[in-house]
Each structure stands twice: as C-alpha cells, then as structure tokens.
Structure 1
C-alpha cells in the first residue's frame, strides 16, 4: 500500500467517510481506484469462525472447519503465558490460510457474576490474570501478522439487556477491576483493534464514550490501533467518531456514512478527526495486506495436538481423596454420562466453531485402558432437565462390577450461551440425580465436569474425586483421558472462585439489574477480593488446583529495589517437587495493604509463574512487582 498520508490526500470526503464502516458483515471497504484492498475480519476467540456462505453473528450458519481450542475459561486455568501465546500463534496461522486479516478476540471482561452467559469466553474474575493471559493471546496471534480485537470494552459483564443496559460503576471499581485487564493487554501487546461493547457506562453508550475510547484508551494507554464497534453497537455516528470509535461494523445501508459527511461539511466534526480515523483504518489494512499477500497452510494435526495440551493444562483437579486418580492400572472402569460419547466442548453463540476433528472420552479411554476394562451407559438425556430413572438404573447396572466409576456431567448448551444469562448455578437435574445415586451405590466415584463457569455441587462430599474439564475444545476429551489415566499430571488452577451457593456471590442482589440500569454496588469486591475480605467460605477458592505430586516452598525472600524506575519489590522463592512424578506448579504472589488510607481487599494477585519440575528437582523462582502492584 502507498503512503497513508498521500492516500488520504487523494480521497474524497465521501470515500473517507465510507472507509469508516464495513462493506458487509465480515469485510471492510476497499477503494479500488487507490488500490486499497477490502480485508476480512471474522469471529474467534478460541477458533476461527469463517463463514463461507450466509453470514450471522450468533453461530447459526456453518463455518469452515477450524481447530476449536479450549475456551477462555480453560485457557486462563492453565496460568501459562507461553502456552496461550502458542495457541494464539496457531489461531494466527489458521487466519493466514483462510485469508482473514483480523480475528475477533480475546474477551477480557471480568467475571462479576458466575451467571453471565458468556463467562466461558472470558478469562477470570481477576484483572491481573485477565490482562496477562489476554496479552499472551494477542501477542501470539499478532506474531503471525494477523490482527486481534480485544473485547468487549467496557463493563459488559452480562447478557441481560446487553444492548441497552447502563452500567453504573464507581471510579475505583472501573479502574482497578474492569479496565485494568484491558490496560495490561493494550500497553504491552497493542491489539490492532479494540471492540467497544453495546452497553452504556455511567449514562453514555460505549461507542460514544470519549472518556473510554479516546481519553483513556488512546491518550492515557497509548493505543495505536483502532476501535471497532461490536456488530450493531453504533449509537451516534459523528459523536462516536469524535469520541474515538473509528470503524462501524457490520456494513449496512443505515445512512451513517452520509451523517459523517454532513457533520464535516456543517463544521460539527473536524475533518482532521475523520482523517485520523481513516489513517488508523488504513494502517490496519496495510498490515493485513502484507501478511495475506503470501499463501500459507497450517498443519491441522499439529494444532489438534496443541489443543490437547492446552486442554490438559486447563483442566483443574478439584478433589482427589485417597489419591483415587490416576486410575489404577488394569482397573475395571464404568464410564457414565452422555457427554462421554457426545461431548460438550464449546459454548454457543458467535464463538461456535466447526471443529476440524472431535475427540470423545469413551474412544480416548479405550485407547488408554482397553475396551475390556471399560463399560458405558448414557445416564441422562441430551437436555437432562429432568432425571430419567430408566437411564439412571441402566447406568447403575453398568457400573455394578466396576472398581472405579467415572461420571461425566456438567452444563448443557442451553445453560451457557451468548444472549442469555443463567438464572441459577445448578446443574441439570438429570446430571445431579445421576451423580447422587451413583455416589450412594459406589465408594469410588470420579466426577468429570464439562462447563464454562462455576456450578453448585450438593454432592461434593459424596464423591472421591472431581476433575473440572471446563469447555476443552475439540481435543478436550483426549486431554481428560490423559489426566485420568496418569499420562498427564494435572496442573491447572482455578481462575475464578466456585462459591458454595449463588447467594454468596457479592453481586447477587444487584445482578443483572434492569430494566434500565445495573448498579455495581460491590465496587472493587469482586470474586476472591470479596470472599477473602469477609471470610466467606467457598466451595473451591480462586487459585486452587491439585496435582499427582507435591511441592515444597522454601527460602522466601523479598527485596525492595533502590532504583525508582525499576521493580518495587523482587520476590524470590525455592520450589521443589517432593513427589514421585513430574509436575508443574503455579507460584502465586498476592499483596495486602496492612495500613491503607482507603478500603482495600484482603489480598490481590500481582504476580505468578508456572514451573515444571521432575521428581526431586528444585528451582529458584523470581517475580518482580512494580509500583502499580501496590497502587489503587
């Protein structure tokens, strides 16, 4: 592409205004006479959803086959920056093959409530972990010369009335919790685009919100890319351009291009503002054009193997009484649950991926333990909203001779989807009844969960082991089989708290609000920041996750830096694998303000590192905390 300033000087006012909206659902406009190409953007974030035919934004029409990686809730549970970077790079490779210039993701919205219908697409309740994982995802994708779209900016933490709801939030909560993850990702990774959300924030729609889109994002954080609307999120086109929202998607004959032209001609909008927006759009097109000019093919088998490794590291061993897992060698196993043959591996909505291949737990366990050692029964129906006593009895019969029973359960598609929030944290009654009756009949029961967000577990004390598999993508079942059989040592840790019950959540009384507003009354006390501050018991805490080995920490040292421009505090600790198998440990560093001038949480995550250790191996872990880690 030619020099951007020169191109802008050759454009008519109408052409400049036209570049500020899409050509159609997935393509940006080009200008053939100036040799400006039309590039394609499309949905992510955990796989490429490129639609070859009719287009939609809710996953209704089929897309080309692509690798379905674990969803964000699972990727965050890996706590592995390098692994997430590899997943991002693989996504970028698939975009290169399919000639897609920008993949829409990742989502960095905070998990304010476990009920949000899109929590499976988001990383964490913690802004630091969110920012670190989002940064790695973005850097991975963009290492391939493909753009990302960090979304949904900002304070979009529910699906209920997401198009119009007004999020009423105080400045500290906004800055410390809901913007901090975006800030980390933007400052370090520079996503090509940031996607504005549909909702209002303190009375102003996101697309029109100058404070968020220009003052904070561009001027304060130094974002060099552009802001694109979520599909249909534009409110007032000239006002949005002034506020810093450059690109409206999708393209539609709504008259907004003409409104820009009229605003410039009337003096309402300075043409310099329009030129700045066009320059950012052209900059993105130029980068994408350079990448997409070269043909590329990715290795689908290598990507499937990466998806399996990511799913394994994102699975969290929540409970393992008596070291029931890994499965004893040659044990007779009953595998119960329809998910074992018909997996639920992703959420529903705009992120719905057409997988290049799909593993199931039954077939994968047969490979590892042998068909002679495995029996199977459905146990519940597809929807499982009511217990099917005949299927439960069939499952009990199938498990009668088993030494270990694995029940594969969780949430069905209807429970977690874009556009709808959950109304409770319960699993389908058919799943719960199956687990309870199986636990009453057997002493060795393992529950494997497939869900994108926390669930209540009234049976938690009745089973010996619980493995949280989240929505593990197309290779998730193989990853679970690896963990169950001991081929892989689980190393995931929760990136969100599992409360005992919904009413314990700090947003319980104000979520989802409505009809016009939702008030963030809990302020900065989100997730563990609340539970730890009020000493509230939880089912499983943030950062929890067991291993098949054990680790020992020693020689913890804190050094305060003398250089005012460097780290404020350096944390050093020795970590040793004291068990009999290799494993990975996640060192987590939290800060607590002992004597604060304002209200502060009991603790806040400000550093982490994942280390792999062989039996008996020891290593030094060093983590540096900057001054921001102690600020409010």
Structure 2
C-alpha cells in the first residue's frame, strides 16, 4: 500500500509538471470548458481585470504571459471597417484594408431568403477572418418601430418572425469562419433620439412577442457567441448592465454562454456593470462618450475602479471569474481554434455575392403599363436624374461607414447595361449640399434644367431617396419627417408632368412618403446595396434579373399612419419613451385601421411575371396540442419569363382572451418558377405558430378555438385561406 501511495504521489507530481509544461488550455483537442477552467486558474486578478475592458478603440487585452491573444473587434454589419489608430477614430491609412461593401441589412431582409442570408454571413465572415478579427459587431435585429429611426437600415425589418429566420443563417456562416457574430443592440434600441439615456416603457407582451424573438433565435438557433448591449435604458437600468435583460432573460432563460459586450460608451456604473450581466466594456473616450482624454482605458468602469474594489476586499472575484470564463470561451472558439479557416478579402467572389443579394432584395413597388424592364431596342435616349445616381453610399451613416475597394454607382451601372446602344445623359436635379442650395438658389436651377431635359428623353430614371447624411439614415440622428429631403418631391412631380415615362428609384434604408405616387408609373426600392449597387440595380431595370424582393416593413402614406407617431409614443420626453402601441407594430397596426391603407404593405413586391395561387388546403381541420397541420398551396408562373415568388403564411386567431393582431407572419418560402411551371408549397403549422405571450401568466399560451391559415403574396394580398380548430 505504501509503495502504491508513493507511486500515486509521483504520478500526480509528474502530471502537474506535465500540465505546467503543456497546459490544457493550449491544447485545441481538449474540451473548451476544461481549457477555460485551466486558463482561469493560471491568471492573476490583474490579468483578469485587464481582459474585461478595452485597451484600444477596437481591442481588449489578452494574457501575453500565458499566450492568450487579444480580442479584436470590427464594425460591420455590412463590411469590415477600415483600420483606425490605436486611440483615435481617425483612419490608420493602411493601403490594404479596402473591403467589399455588402448590401445593408434592410436589403438582405428584403430578399426573404435564408439562403441569401447564409451567403452574406459566409462572405463577410471570410472578410473579417482575413483581417484577423475575431468579433464582428453585427448583425442588428432591432425592430423597425418607426420609419424615422435613423438606424433602421442596419436592421431586418418590422416583423419578429422574418428577422428571426433571416438572422440565424447569417450568424451560423459567420461563426464557421472562426468569427463571433455580435448580435446587436440588446434590446429595445429603436430610436437614435436621446439614445444614450432614454428609458423605454413597454409591456411584457410587446417585449416578448415583438422585440425579443429575433435575439432569442440568434442565441438558441443561431448559437451566437456574442451579444452587444444597447445604449438605452429599460426598467430604469441601462441595457449594457441590465439585471432583467442580461442575467434573467439572456443568460438564465435562454442559456446564453457567450460574451455580453457593451456598446461603445454604453456603461455608466461600476456596481451595475459588475453584477448585471456585462462581460466586456468598450468606449470612445475615458468615460464612455463623455470625456476626451487619451489612452485612459484604466479609467473605464470595469478597469481600475473594479480592481480597487477587489484589492480593498469590498468585493470578491465571483463575477469577475464568470466574465473571464465567457471571454476565454470566445477566444477558444475563435482565435485559438485549430479549425479556424484562413478567410479571403476584397475578392470578386465576395463582390458577386453582394450583387446577388442586392438583386434578390431590390423591390419593384409599382409598374403600371409595364414601363419596366427597359427594352433597349425601343429606347434611344435615357435621362438619369438625381444625386443618388452618383453619390457614394458606403461612406457616412455612422459606424457602418466603410472604405471600399470600389463602388459601382447607379449611373455607371446604367451606362454599362446601355452598351452604347442608348444615349445616357445625367443631371443631378437637386443637391444635398446645403451651402450650394443657398447660393444663387442653385436647387431651383438644377431642377429646371432636369425638367427641361426630361421633355426630350424616351425614358427618365430618377434616382434619389435618402443618403446617410445626418438625419437621413444615419447613426446618432433620427429623421425629422417622412418626406424626401432636398426638394425631391417637387422635382419628381415636375419630371413626371414633363415625361410620363418616368421611373422613380428610391435608395434608402427607410420608408419614405410619396405624394406623387399616383402619377408615377414605375417605382423601385433599391436600398443601400454596397459595392455592386449600380450593376445590381441596372440588371433589374433592364430586365436581366427579374425582381423578387419583398418589403420587410410597411410604407405608411403619412407619418401619423405609423402607430408610434399616431399614439404619441415617439420620440418620448427627455427621460422616457412609452411604446403605447404595444404589440401592434407595422402591419399589425395597419390591419386595425379600417379607413387607412398603407402606401405599400409589408411583404409587397412585384415581378415581371405573374403568379397564380391555387386554393389553400390542409391535411386536417382539427389540431391537438402535439399535432402539426400541413397547409398546402400550389403556385404557378402564368407569365412569359422565369421569376421568384415569396409565398407567405399568416395565422389568424379568431377567438382569443387577449387582443391579438388580425394576422401574424408564421411562415414564408421563396420559390423559383419557369414560365408555366407549378410548384407545391407546404407550410407545417405547429403550436408555436398559434401561441401568444400571456403577461399575467408570464408564459406562452395557445388557447383552444378557431384559427385561420392565410396564404398571400403580401400582408394585404391574401390569395387563399383555410380554417381549422385547436382542441
């Protein structure tokens, strides 16, 4: 026994020595949780604290003594941001950091295609990996509550189901590249006005039914490795250190095992940052966004103030160790993973992926008399009007600004597709430069010149909209009105009067008012489409590509047709904003307005062909709790060219104890059909599709009663319905 004991002691000593020489945490074949605990045991308190806050504008410290690398973040979500100086926002002026700009996320959402979302995630993930980042600050899934929110272009629309289904493939493909997707901004970040401190008051039903589902899907279905907290407050606590959102919902209820990262300058209190779920603090200056001292990262709330509390014995290291565990888990999933691929950057493959996504996201809103697509054989001259035909849209807008390898403008794309067979002339028609407008009334002169030229053109392509200037789709600023800026409405009306063959192309990330809508034959929503903008747009205008995009949010006629504005729930006062509309956001609100129809409804989008829907049928008319009802519809292309259609499933609850929307999106499928081809689309309906959040019981419930499955081409173009009963 004695010999065995001695042998065991020697074996233990040898094992410890071996571990010291060959730490578990450095072995990529070991389980991640064992690596995390091994590394954690070896770290000093000072090293742990250094790891949980920024050391530069976009990086946090590793542990050089142990060979644990730094963490490097990058803005997306539409492209990999140019390198900035260590402690300044100015560009570092590298010569090899020009990226491919991908379409903004409103354009991605408008594809209604999880396949396009996967392609997007793969492509941007490869770009981030090549640049040796390990956290991509995106995608954003905050709900489109008001069209005045300046940051809507970064998000995935007004419907939680659509956003949930679109965000998951993006995350999965990014993370296959060894890059953590940092889903933002958690939660209720739906306006830029007073965003740093505004306290959101929202009922529990709206919180769980509208504003949380996409984040929940990102965590539980997408497996996101990081979440970014929001600037605003909820329940009187900032969302970057919010007990209810982070500790109770995100980490406890959803089982999130990744890292919670603050938005830059979103931290306000050391005690709350320690206890309320934040793991990593980033900022712009000494104290978030407030003081402009340089290289002062030790002053951050989770830096010296935290370390001092520990060394003085005022607090133990329990919370600190949990934060570091999550950061180590991030490191081992990304930078220290042996399966991490190399990535690629600025490639034509990525540019063409961006073009494909843009082509599928561009929405044909109106096409009276089939003015589009343009037939080159019947057109001799085209007049292109509008500053957005030539303006770079990858700059500006806040943190989504990019330095791109190239950007094809709409004008260049149109000239390329005209192939010297058609004369193309360009006139700006308006200017967004305020000093130019004030000088000699230049705006009126530009308008008169364009209108005069329009009389001589075979077709006029007006390309305008918003432009990422302050107040026009830009971080930090909301819009002040729904209307188009810079006198564009007047210009469009005059162009149409001068030439009835006028096509209006809106480039934006938001809905805009269209007082001229009845006079314009063809309208296109073209979004911000990145590097290949011009080629993507021209391919649709000239018919190389049949448009198949659908709106991911409602276009109201007037701003007061939007629920947040109609009920006085936006922008709130100096301290609070109340979401008075509750669950009735977007089309859920529009469906309740008997005397008002939207300008263009959620899910709307036309094609150059036509689709015929058969009668909707189902395999049963009575559903029990564990059942699935399969709702089936056949769709046929009755036109003369190939096209894609997004078939949409909505569910209506006819007998509810609580107010419910007239209908809610619960399924969609994008299908491609050749002329004359017919396909069968099947939607499985389960109990989840019938459930709502009961804020008295604090749980999801589905009540017995009668329901309807509605099949449509948009939320207001219902082609078939099937009634069934839940027993």
Bucket of the pairwise TM-score, normalised by the shorter protein: over 0.9
Query: Which secondary structure state, in structure 2, belongs to the residue aligned with residue 452 of structure 1?
Result: coil
1:454 corresponds to which residue? Answer: 511
Aligned length: 631
In the other structure, the counterpart of 2:344 is 297
Rg (Cα) greater in structure? 2
- Unaligned 5+ segments in structure 1 are none
Give the distance between the partners of 2:620 and 2:222, measured in 1 at CA: 28
Residue of structure 2 aligned with 1:72, choices 97, 105, 115: 105
> In structure 2, what is the equivalent of residue 351 of structure 1?
400
1:273: which partner in 2? 319
Residues 308, 291 of structure 1: alpha-carbon distance in 2 compared, 3 angstrom cutoff: farther
Contact 2:432–2:486 (CA<8 Å) still a contact in 1?
Answer: no
Contact 1:146/1:288, CA 8 A, preserved across alignment: yes
Instruction: Tell me: CA distance 1:80–1:394, structure 2 relative to 1, closer, same or farther (3 Å).
Output: same
1:257 aligns with 2:303: yes
2:411 alignment counterpart:
362
Deviation of 1:297 (Å): 3.0
Aligned to 2:572: 513
- The TM-score, its normalising length taken from structure 2, stands at 0.83
Runs of 5+ in structure 2 lacking a partner? 1-24, 27-34, 284-295, 693-727
1:532-543 superposed matches below 5 A: 532-535=591-594, 536-543=596-603
Q: Encode CA deviations 1:389-432: one digit per residue, 9 max, x unaligned.
A: 22222223333332211111111332221101111011024322
Give the SS at the match of 1:290: coil
Kindly report which structure 2 residues correspond to 1:395-410, keeping only aligned pairs within 5 A, or say none.
395-410=450-465
Q: Note if contact 2:247-2:277 (Cα within 8 Å) is conserved in structure 1.
A: yes
TM-superposition CA deviations, 1:406-463 (whole Å, max 9, x none): 1111113322211011110110243222211111111211001111101101111111
Q: Which has the higher contact order (CA 8 A, sep 6+)?
A: 1
Measured in 1, the distance between the counterparts of 2:622 and 2:273 equals 45
Q: How does 1:425-436 map onto structure 2 within 5 Å?
A: 425-436=482-493
Displacement of 1:148 in angstroms is: 0.8
Q: 1:121 aligns with which of 113, 129, 154?
A: 154
Give the Cα separation in 2 of the matches to 1:546 and 1:515. Answer: 42
Residue deviations 1:241-269 (CA, integer Å, cap 9, x gap): 32221111148221532333344467765
Pairing partner for 2:190 from 118, 138, 157: 157
Is 1:196 the counterpart of 2:232? The answer is: no
**TM-superposed deviation, 1:17:** 2.1
Change (3 A) 1:448 1:357: same
Does the 8 Å CA contact 1:69/1:472 hold for their aligned counterparts?
yes
Task: Note the 1:102-501 alignment, pairs <5 A.
Answer: 102-250=135-283, 252-254=297-299, 256-264=302-310, 269-290=315-336, 295-298=342-345, 300-330=347-377, 331-332=379-380, 333-344=382-393, 348-371=397-420, 372-383=422-433, 388-414=443-469, 415-501=472-558
Aligned equivalent of 2:70, options 32, 35, 38: 38
Task: Please report how far the alpha carbon of residue 339 of structure 1 lies from its aligned counterpart in structure 2 after TM superposition.
Answer: 2.0
Q: Matches of 2:362 and 2:396 in 1, distance apart?
A: 16
1:526 offset after TM fit, Å?
0.7
Output the CA distance in 2 between the equivalents of 1:448 and 1:36: 51
Residues 387 and 434 in structure 1, CA contact (< 8 A), matched pair in contact too: no
Q: What's the counterpart of residue 56 of structure 2?
A: 24
What's the secondary structure of 1:499's corresponding residue? Answer: coil
SS of the residue aligned with 1:585?
strand
After superposition, what is the alpha-carbon deviation per residue over 1:89-135, rounded to whole angstroms, capped at 9, x for unaligned?
A: 11111111111111100111111110011011111111111111121
Give the TM-score of the pair, scaled to structure 1.
0.95
